[in-house]
Structure 1
Amino acid sequence: MRKLFALISTFFLWVGLAAPALAYNLTTCGDNPSFQARAAKAATEQAKARFENYAQLQCGADGLPHLIVDGSIAHLGEFIIPSILFLYIAGWIGWVGRAYIISVRGDKSPEMSEIIIDVPRAIRIMLTGFTWPLAALAEFTSGKLTAPDNEITVSPR
């Protein structure tokens, strides 16, 4: 009975009884006095252009722009798109590195191929690595991406 009460209480507090956190009293950077003071100190044209671009974002009392990650379309370009691009590029680097290691595995001296990179081979693999999400899905569904349980070593307990 206690567990049920705790679960129900937690649910109600989570859903509606707890006041949602305010956005830290953020204001538009163009209207924020601290941000305007920082922008007035910009010395180069590049810095002035950056402050003009940041003027549409939300700033705190410190005059610095803040990211808003709430899932709305209005803030999509601030966090979601850059993070997806980061994950794609990081996955591409990992996939290409994995493909290179697999390709040199059959050479007569694979360790030396890891130390001294075969640049033409690496570039060829890099150019095909942009389709890594599809290749990873294909290898996962075929079972080539993961190892069977009997090949995984487990320490004795």
Structure 2
Amino acid sequence: MNGFVPAIVAVMLAEMGPRALLYAEARRQEIALWLIAAAVFFAGAAGVFAGRTMNAWATALMIAIALLFAAIGQLQRVAPATGAIRTLGAFWRGGVLILVFALSTRFGPFAASFGGLAGMAAAAILTRVLLNNGVPMQPIRWGAAAVMIVTAGFLAVGALRLV
């Protein structure tokens, strides 16, 4: 379970902002939330199969690449969406699936999948709290992307054994 916390933190950083607000405003019975959860578990299960053929350096490099893609997803503009299809489209453009896939190659499917879902919930709650208190989201999103880029750089340098 040592991958649960990194999954929470990585997904929370990737989803802070308007994308997380879509999940926070979704109704409990909405099918999009169930499909998102199923996609997260599928990504976690798929990562296990890929992880069997990789060593520790390769999984570290894959996590670094996933963090870079998640940072790019965090910097994208997210339009307001209503309905299941548009919510799924906004989710697909984020970095959750690739993060869960990459983290499950190293930490296993349960820690990565449950950590990813918990990170999405944490991002939705924090986004709602910050917006209700009048905090602008743009600097927070840029900061989250910067943290992911710097972390990805350190991981990539270590994985490629450049130090």
The two structures have a TM-score, normalised by structure 2, of 0.23
The structure with the largest helix share of the pair is 2
**Bigger relative contact order, structure 1 or 2, given CA contacts below 8 A and separation 6+?**
2
The two structures have a TM-score, normalised by structure 1, of 0.24
Q: Which has the larger radius of gyration?
A: 1
